[in-house]
A and B are shown apart, each in its own frame.
Chain A
Amino acid sequence: MATFGNGRRVAIVAGVRTPFTKAGTAFKSLSAIDLGKLCVAELIQRTSLSGAEVQALVFGTVIPNVVAPNIAREVALMPLLPKGVQAFSVSRACASANQAITDAADQIALGHIDTAIAGGAESLSNVPILHSQGMAEALVLASKAKTFGGRVRALASVRPKDLVPITPAIAEPTTGETMGQSAEKMAKINNISREEQDHFALRSHRLAAAGTADGRLIAEQMPVYVPPRFESVVESDNGIRSDTSYEALSQLKPVFDRKYGSVTAGNASPLTDGGACVLLMSEEKARSLGYEPLGYIRSYAYAALDPGEQLLQAPVLAAPVALHRAGLTLRDIDLVEMHEAFAAQVLSNLRGFESTYWAERAGFSEPVGEVDQSRLNVMGGSIAIGHPFGATGSRITVTLLNELRRRDGQFGLMTVCAAGGMGFAMVVERG
């Protein structure tokens, strides 16, 4: 079976991320570009990499800065990297960092380049607030007006309702359904109970708290001396609640369906700020520079379905393809990392893995199978750690590889669901 790279294996040499912090807290004054720069600079510093080795920088972000839409280029223009580094930004909702990583990996596999940095960043503390259509039209007209009177006339057309600013909602443009509503719907369709969801959320916090306490999660984070004043240091994720309990979680009111709903703020991932990135190299390049890579990309796959159906169920379609491309089955996989947008979504995805219906939709006769809980998200997931959209994919990649090494495993599988009804899966291997 020819796995990814056609003989040119792509190594994930190292990865770094900022701590993930709840929106409006420690990183509230930092933009996604700032967060991207922080983690890329630390990746270069920490790996003792010469910036001149880097040939491309690919970065993902979901809510771009309207003034500087190509975040990758802004990050690449740091003095740590040559100005000649190619840089482009990608957008695949919550799998944006995965898209960045696989795009960069493709370039390496094709032999176009040997070394790249890929990742993503998101600041949900700093989302662009937009003017209403009416206000925008008036402002454009006024800027084009040649006379003072013309400007006044243009601005006079503004109505009170136009003054209300628009904040981007996390909703599907085609269906109008918010992410939470979709998760709520999936819980109902797949018969996921409130209790199951709250237990899963509790598990996420407990495992993440344990991973932080024993230093495993800290190892993948960089300390951030918070600019501009450097009065504080953020050393670890600030959303993990080691003290939470099932009782506390079960007290929370459902947010999206107050009557029959089960999705709460406690069993969903929080709005988060953060940046994460990895260093990718061809296997030969990594070897010639004396690096011992975290691991290698064995295969990956993307899939999509109708967003009006089950918005976050596409990982179920991507995973069997990735496994097939890897020439492996779930039985060969030592560890599974699944992005936790919502407990309801993870549990729906897990049900899907076990179902022949979803297997057939993906083109296979046999289901992926039942995921062993002891191998799943062993240091928690996005519900506890947080979920800066553009950065999460890179975090999961590094978490999986680090833990695979600690457990001396061989293969790891990761999945990420994404808005638009999309899903991602990747198989990584060691040595």
Chain B
Amino acid sequence: MASTYALGTEIVNGVAVITIDLPGDPVNKFNRAVKDEFVALFDRLERDLNVRAAVLISGKKDSFIAGADIEEFLELKSAAEAERLSHEGQLLLDSIHEQRTPLVVAIHGACMGGALELALASHYRIATDHPKTVLALPEVQIGLIPGAGGTQRLPRLIGVRAALDMILTGRNVRAKKAMQIGLIDELVHPAILRKIAIQRAQELADGTVKHRKHSGGMTGFLLDENPAGRRVVLKKAREETMKKTRGNYPAPLAAIDAVEAGYRGGASHGYRTESRLFGEMSMTDVCRQLIHIFFATTALKKDPGVPVQQGAPLPEIVPVEKVGILGAGFMGAGIASVAIQQGTLVRMKDADHGRVAKGFAAVRDVVKERLTKRQITKVQYSDIMSLLGGTTDYSGFGNVDLVIEAVFEDINVKHQVLREVEAELKPSAIFASNTSTIPIAQIAEASSRPERVVGMHFFSPVHKMPLLEVIEADATDTSVVASVVAYGKKLGKTVIVVHDGPGFYVNRILTPYINEAGRLLDQGAAIDAIDNALLDFGFPVGPITLVDEVGLDVGAKAGKIMYEAFGERFAPPSSMQAVVASGRYGRKVKKGFYLYDDEGKKGDVDQSVYTLLAPGSRETTAASGNQAQSRAQIPASEIQQRTVLPMLNEAARCLAENVIRSARDGDVGAVFGFGFPPFRGGPFRYMDTIGISELVKKLEELNDRFPGRFEPAEVLVSMARRGERFYPET
């Protein structure tokens, strides 16, 4: 019989072993009900004189406590209410800290947010030496700050530098690292976690346990343990945060304020500041949008990618054990590198051995980086690499479950490899194209079984970019879509299913954005002025830098295909054409809009590019040497509007044409595909924030100034007329 309670208690030799096991949930979370249980339980234990100490351990497999229930955050109506919630949390942890009975926290699996704050308030922390055991304070990732004493207890335990690193990045700290920085007291094998925890609890009650004193050494003394050093650290943290966030994210700054308050005004001032700032942060639009994105990705993880009727069985999933990759170039090798890391056998084919070897080297760079960072052992490295095979023929393709084609972006080449490989494949094998622009239906024309042809559009660099667009053509079998969605998730990707069409979704909405950046260049705007305006808007890189990264030749080729498909509103700007024609293909040839050193590291704007740009309406004379300053001054707000609004406009069209299944997919695709500012929630959330009517008005204004490119999408006009939004108001 399933318990309705999350906490179970068993007394072992005077130690209360509390097992947290949230009924009906795969992971433990802190919610109001669990909190009430904790209050009642600790109250009872405190009065039970048979209990001398307590241990908290999880009943879930390989998972400790995932932190607070974020859904409850969305229900908070005011800053005051959120502040109260934080204060109550602080009080509970404070009472645990002050208990008569010492508490040992036994951590196996993820220990996140509030769970780590609880561990910090306890008297002894043991973690397992296991890859699943990670500790983190991820609150800033959803626009919040730790609210149950984390900003106060963590710096005091591990020093202000290490604490800020954890709080400001929200990153996972592995158990070994946690031991090194003094976050935990002991590291044990999972099999003895419970036993040792009980033993330590008894010793704590007896007063015989020795705490390991964590020494930060000389730098620790200089920077963590004296006020002057800490001031330097905090000042530097603020500067770096501003530089990174450009002021778009208030939470990291609030977290620094809270940490500082504890040092400057004493403990109680620190806790009060933490609660107050937690309350303030919870009401920011940034926090709401980040939580929405978080929920959208969580929902996508459970989404099979194909419509499933209520009660109907899921479509059959083809298990992928061996993948054939055609083309050992940067994309092919990138895909291979993530596939072998998930234990898939990979057969990588290219036209000659030299190319295959280059592919091997590229795969090695990715996997080796994990070894260098000690995320994997030498044996794991060699195991992973052993899954990669190379060939110049189709040998070994007979038992391939999935072929991913990453050959040259040319329909004839694609048709040729499709015909060749299909002759070698078993009938159940899936053929996926990694094309970024060519419609899948067109590729499938060469196939004798088009129902098994699908698109898997990875983004570059594959091992870093989290998005995968799965492209479903009209003919594609549902089970094929579901299978590649499932495999994409296995590769750790966030997967959206997009309907077939030129540019699919991500590249389609990027094109007008990039094109407009080019037009701004045509009109004399400075390269860095354009990039900076969009960095300020919240993009991780500006559009001109992005073009350099992707490659101008690739961009121009894609741009042409898009122009042919969608007509005048996608007309490529003349500036780009001139620069491509000059052979500046971007970073890969170390020559583009920016300067690159021998290692390909980006420098300043390459001033000599300006001589190539179309004179257009440039209001300047090309006074040599000082061209950037003599470029036209276009306000950042205009640059932002002219580039971002047509992107939104195109996103709306994609939804109206069912290219994407939902606004949610459109938001996630843009955020994870090219870093649409997450704090704006994605194109659709952002359109709701602007207001559809306002958006239509702005587009019409632009369309009056620059006819042909900004005409509002029909769907937006009709939504504006009816006063509709993409998401219900919250």
Q: Is A246 an interface residue (CB 8 A)?
A: no
Q: Are B397's CB and A225's CB within 8 A?
A: no
Binds A, one of B380-388, B404-412, B631-639: B380-388
- Known A225-B353, A225-B357, A233-B353; judge A45-B385 contact (CB<8 A): no
- Known A223-B356, A225-B353; judge A230-B364 contact (CB<8 A): yes
> How far apart are the CA atoms of A235 and B354 in the complex, in Å?
11
Q: Is A7 an interface residue (CB 8 A)?
A: no
Q: Is B593 an interface residue (CB 8 A)?
A: no
Q: Which residues of B contact A37 (CB under 8 A)?
A: 382, 386
B348-374, CB < 8 A from A: 353-354, 356-358, 360-361, 364
Q: Is A79 an interface residue (CB 8 A)?
A: yes
Q: Is B347 an interface residue (CB 8 A)?
A: yes
Closest chain B CB from A80 CB (angstroms): 6
Q: Are A48's CB and B353's CB within 8 A?
A: no
1/0 per position for B316-333, CB-CB distance to A under 8 A?
000001000000000000
A38-66, CB < 8 A from B: 41-42, 44-50
> How far apart are the CA atoms of A47 and B391 in the complex, in Å?
13
Q: Which residues of A contact B358 (CB under 8 A)?
A: 230
> How far apart are the CA atoms of A42 and B346 in the complex, in Å?
11
> How far apart are the CA atoms of A46 and B382 in the complex, in Å?
20
- Known A45-B347, A232-B357, A233-B356; judge A78-B383 contact (CB<8 A): yes
Closest chain B CB from A127 CB (angstroms): 22
Q: Which residues of B contact A231 (CB under 8 A)?
A: 357, 361
Q: Which residues of A contact B345 (CB under 8 A)?
A: 44-45, 80
Closest chain A CB from B398 CB (angstroms): 3
- In this complex, the member of B353, B384, B386, B400 whose beta carbon has the largest number of chain A beta carbons within 10 angstroms is B386
Q: Which residues of A contact B343 (CB under 8 A)?
A: 79
- Known A45-B347, A49-B399, A228-B364; judge A233-B354 contact (CB<8 A): yes
Q: Is B395 an interface residue (CB 8 A)?
A: yes
Q: Which residues of B contact A46 (CB under 8 A)?
A: 389, 391, 395-396
Q: Which residues of B contact A223 (CB under 8 A)?
A: 353, 356, 390-392
Q: Are A229's CB and B364's CB within 8 A?
A: yes
> How far apart are the CA atoms of A69 and B690 in the complex, in Å?
70
A186-243, CB < 8 A from B: 223, 225, 227-233, 235
Q: Are B390's CB and A225's CB within 8 A?
A: yes
Q: Which residues of A contact B321 (CB under 8 A)?
A: 50
Q: Which residues of A contact B361 (CB under 8 A)?
A: 229-231
Partner of A225, one of B356, B383, B396: B356
Closest chain A CB from B343 CB (angstroms): 6
- In this complex, the member of A78, A228, A231, A233 whose beta carbon has the largest number of chain B beta carbons within 10 angstroms is A233
Q: Are A230's CB and B392's CB within 8 A?
A: no
Q: Are A48's CB and B387's CB within 8 A?
A: no
Interface size class of B (residues with CB under 8 A): 20 to 34
Interface size class of A (residues with CB under 8 A): 20 to 34
1/0 per position for B396-434, CB-CB distance to A under 8 A?
111110000000000000000000000000000000000
Partner of B389, one of A42, A49, A230: A42
Q: Are A47's CB and B396's CB within 8 A?
A: yes
1/0 per position for A150-185, CB-CB distance to B under 8 A?
000000000000000000000000000000000000
Nearest residue, chain B, Cβ from A79: B383
Q: Which residues of A contact B354 (CB under 8 A)?
A: 233
Q: Are A230's CB and B357's CB within 8 A?
A: yes
Q: Which residues of A contact B399 (CB under 8 A)?
A: 48-50
Q: Which residues of B contact A235 (CB under 8 A)?
A: 353
A224-283, CB < 8 A from B: 225, 227-233, 235
> How far apart are the CA atoms of A50 and B321 in the complex, in Å?
9
Q: Which residues of A contact B386 (CB under 8 A)?
A: 37, 41, 78-80
Closest chain B CB from A28 CB (angstroms): 18
Q: Are A233's CB and B357's CB within 8 A?
A: yes
- Known A41-B389, A79-B386, A79-B387; judge A230-B360 contact (CB<8 A): yes
Q: Which residues of A contact B389 (CB under 8 A)?
A: 41-42, 45-46
Nearest residue, chain A, Cβ from B361: A230
Q: Which residues of A contact B360 (CB under 8 A)?
A: 225, 230
> How far apart are the CA atoms of A331 and B366 in the complex, in Å?
58
Nearest residue, chain A, Cβ from B390: A225
> How far apart are the CA atoms of A230 and B396 in the complex, in Å?
21
Q: Which residues of A contact B396 (CB under 8 A)?
A: 45-48
> How far apart are the CA atoms of A67 and B399 in the complex, in Å?
36
B209-262, CB < 8 A from A: none
Q: Which residues of B contact A47 (CB under 8 A)?
A: 396
Q: Which residues of B contact A49 (CB under 8 A)?
A: 399
Closest chain B CB from A168 CB (angstroms): 26
Nearest residue, chain B, Cβ from A44: B345
Closest chain A CB from B586 CB (angstroms): 25
B458-512, CB < 8 A from A: none
Closest chain A CB from B482 CB (angstroms): 23
Q: Which residues of B contact A225 (CB under 8 A)?
A: 353, 356-357, 360, 390
> How far apart are the CA atoms of A227 and B390 in the complex, in Å?
13
> How far apart are the CA atoms of A232 and B356 in the complex, in Å?
10
Q: Which residues of B contact A228 (CB under 8 A)?
A: 364
| Interface residue ranges, B against A (CB under 8 Å) | 321, 343, 345, 347, 353-354, 356-358, 360-361, 364, 382-387, 389-392, 395-400
- Between A and B, 6 residue pairs with Cβ closer than 8 Å are A37-B382, A46-B395, A48-B396, A78-B386, A80-B345, A227-B364
Contacts A223-B390, A229-B364 known; list 14 others, CB within 8 Å: A41-B386, A44-B345, A45-B347, A45-B396, A48-B397, A49-B399, A50-B321, A79-B387, A80-B386, A225-B390, A228-B364, A230-B364, A231-B361, A233-B357
**Lowest 3 A-B CB distances belong to which pairs?**
A48-B398, A48-B399, A230-B360
